[in-house]
Amino acid sequence: MDRIYDLIILGGGPGGYTAALYGARSGMDVLLLEKLSAGGQMGLSAQIDNYPGFPEGIDGFSLGQQMKEGAERFGAQTLLAEATAVSLDGPVKEIQTSEGTFRARTVILATGATPRLLGLAEEETLTGRGVNYCAACDGMFYKGKTVAVVGGGNSAVGDALLLSRVAEKVILIHRRDKLRASPVYEKALAEAKNLTILWDTTVSRLLHDQRLTGLALKNVKTGETSQLACDGVFVSIGRAPASALFRDQVTTDQAGYLQADETTRTNLPGVFAVGDVRTKPLRQVVTAVADGAVAVYYAEEYLAEHP
Ligand code: NAP
């Protein structure tokens, strides 16, 4: 409890571990707190093709481990612990966790974002019993089966394409008549013969016995209702920031993302926000990584100005 770190990082995704690498490499005393395992949400991706330096792509779990090892090579410490309360005001910041209380002069918030729920009755009870949020993790359970994917962004289309290689039949359900996803997917969508798209459609109910058996659907233009029998549904409708712990202290936008510009500085001196939890136009591994480096640059500046 007496020890005061130069820097505590909350979250072991790509932003957090890049901050740990940059901080430790520049001689800071760095502690990174991670809830589960290195990589964060990235660790759930079966294949990452848009992080440069890996011509064949790499799975997110391995990339997370490599980022962790890179930071630890320079002395950054990782502790598996869940933060339960924070006090970020003042020159010494305090983090209470499942493993004790830790103090630091600067803090980087890199807690990322978690999948958004549909908000339907019994959604949580049926999670793992037909309702899923990660195609890369759970897609293999649907080999030869029929699955639905809800959403129209890059994640939903990526998930639908991944599942089309495993499942017998994939139905992508989107609430509008145009995908939000990048046009880069159009060719692959057209070529996936077992994949169909239901446009202008929302899910109004989860049908089930012990497990999910189907979805009650509604066409938002015609008002027509229908039922779709399926073995599983993958909800892929974006993410919500993991910022609940900081919202009473750090300024957020309406959706709860921590307000910080390219400098990653928040409203609190010595507190920085990086990666998916920060307000930003593009949430990707490369942008999280860039944030981690920038945050340490400004943390060092802050420490020099507040000796
Ligand atoms: P997103 O871009 O925010 O898309 C969410 C999708 O879900 C939208 O199509 C949205 O519909 C739909 N949606 C939202 N709430 C809904 C609800 N309650 N019911 C039904 N549908 C709902 O989220 P994302 O696809 O997870 O992507 C997040 C970020 O990661 C984006 O910046 C994306 O570009 C990036 N990403 C990149 C890649 C890649 O480059 N390889 C892969 C995955 C994600 P509307 O379109 O009607 O709003």
Residue among 175, 185, 205 to mutate when testing ligand 1 (max atoms within 8 A of CB): 175
- Strands across the sheet with 212-219, in order? 201-208, 212-219, 225-229
Q: Is the pLDDT of residue 140 over 90?
A: no
Residue 101 CA, ligand 1 centroid: distance in Å = 37
pLDDT digits (tens, 9 = 90+) for 225-269: 999 999 999 999 988 999 999 999 999 999 999 999 999 999 999
Q: What residues does 4 pair with on adjacent strands?
A: 103
Q: Is the pLDDT of residue 25 over 70?
A: yes
Answer positive or negative: Cα dihedral of 179, 183, 184, 189: positive
49 φ, ψ (degrees, to nearest 5): -110, -10
For the chain, the average pLDDT equals: 95
Q: Can you give the pTM of this predicted structure?
A: 0.77
Residue 304 CA, ligand 1 centroid: distance in Å = 41
DSSP the chain: ---EEEEEEE--SHHHHHHHHHHHHTT--EEEEESS-TTGGGGG-S-B-SSTT-TT-B-HHHHHHHHHHHHHTTT-EEEE--EEEEE--SSSEEEEETTEEEEEEEEEE---EEEPP---TTTTTTBTTTEES-HHHHGGGGTTSEEEEE--SHHHHHHHHHHHTTSSEEEEE-SSSS--S-GGGHHHHHH-TTEEEETTEEEEEEEESSSEEEEEEEETTT--EEEEE-SEEEE-S-EEES-TTTTTTS-B-TTS-B---TT-B-SSTTEEE-GGGB--S---HHHHHHHHHHHHHHHHHHHHH--
Query: According to the model, what pLDDT value does residue 187 have?
Result: 94
Tokens of 246: 């900081």
Query: According to the model, what pLDDT value does residue 136 have?
Result: 78
Ligand 1 pocket residue status of 184, Cβ below 6 Å: no
Measuring from atom 14 of ligand 1, which residue has the nearest CA? 237
Query: According to the model, what pLDDT value does residue 1 have?
Result: 62
Query: According to the model, what pLDDT value does residue 14 have?
Result: 98
Q: Is the pLDDT of residue 270 over 80?
A: yes
Instruction: Measure the CA–CA gap between 93 and 159, rounded to whole angstroms.
Output: 40
For the chain, the maximum distance between any two Cα atoms, rounded to a whole number of angstroms, is 66
Active site residue 134: yes
Instruction: Measure the CA–CA gap between 99 and 251, rounded to whole angstroms.
Output: 27
Residue 176, amino acid: R
Query: According to the model, what pLDDT value does residue 144 have?
Result: 96
Residue with tokens 């910041």: 93
pLDDT digits (tens, 9 = 90+) for 194-228: 999 999 999 999 999 999 999 999 999 999 999 99
The closest alpha carbon to 259, from 284, 246, 8, 293, belongs to 246
Active site residue 230: no
pLDDT digits (tens, 9 = 90+) for 40-53: 888 877 778 889 99
Q: Within 13 A of 251's CA, how many CA atoms are on the CB side?
A: 9
